[in-house]
A and B are shown apart, each in its own frame.
Chain A
Amino acid sequence: GESVGLHLPTLSVQEGDNSIINCAYSNSASDYFIWYKQESGKGPQFIIDIRSNMDKRQGQRVTVLLNKTVKHLSLQIAATQPGDSAVYFCAESDDKIIFGKGTRLHILP
């Protein structure tokens, strides 16, 4: 079946550096992609989304890149801060949302 996955389960980044979290998807019919952030003990929180007719979208300190050719999605976080420590999920949607397993972002002091 179709699935959404992540390349790395844990990512450690020095505070102040940029973080890149990657995601692969396999459903070519998906036309909407979302990144969620989940802090410890809390529910997921929407970060940024992108439609399939775009290949890049920027938010505040975050950028999502979509490469439909290789079915790849990435989340870039600029100037990573301690508050960015969390699990990040990508998700794809055509009718219902399907979530990936998550990547834990660990910030090194």
Chain B
Amino acid sequence: NAGVTQTPKFQVLKTGQSMTLQCAQDMNHNSMYWYRQDPGMGLRLIYYSASEGTTDKGEVPNGYNVSRLNKREFSLRLESAAPSQTSVYFCASSPQTGVHNEQFFGPGTRLTVL
């Protein structure tokens, strides 16, 4: 099992460009998450999907959209990238949301917006 995979690993965008970060998991998990990680700050939840067909906003959703394409895949889209979106993005999955809930993380995508 590959666990959680993310593509691309690195990306440089110009302000205003759009892109989609891809995430897939092969653990048959119901729930998937997108986080961003900035220097000196903890992981902050952008969006999550409790189950296939549902998505909900997290702590910092502005400037992002998500799609739960199927049970395996959860993508994050930046429609018009801004320098403030320079960050490392992590996708995670878990059997379900709620308590007692270990999350499994991907290796991250390092995004720079110029």
Contacts and interface: CB of A to CB of B under 8 A. Distances in A.
Interface stretch (A13-21, A60-68, A72-80, A95-103): A95-103
Contacts of B105: 43-45
Please classify the interface of chain B as helix (H, G, I), strand (E, B), loop, or mixed, using the class held by over half of its residues. Answer: loop
A32 B103 contact: no
Given A89-B43, A102-B42, A94 B99 contact: yes
B42 A89 contact: yes
B60 to A, nearest CB: 12
A33 to B, nearest CB: 10
Q: For this complex, into which size category does the number of interface residues on chain A fall?
A: 20 to 34
Given A4-B42, A101-B41, A101-B42, A32 B108 contact: no
B40 A101 contact: yes
A98 B89 CA distance: 16
B103 A97 contact: yes
Contacts of B40: 101
Nearest to A48: B102
A101 B102 CA distance: 18
A73 to B, nearest CB: 14
Interface in A1-59: 4, 31-32, 34, 41-46, 49, 51
Given A42-B107, A43-B106, A96-B58, A32 B42 contact: no
A93 interface: yes
Contacts of A95: 97-99
Interface of B: 4, 40-45, 48, 58, 90, 92, 97-108
Q: 10 closest Cβ contacts across the A-B interface? A: A43-B105, A99-B42, A99-B43, A32-B99, A101-B42, A46-B102, A44-B105, A100-B42, A43-B90, A43-B107
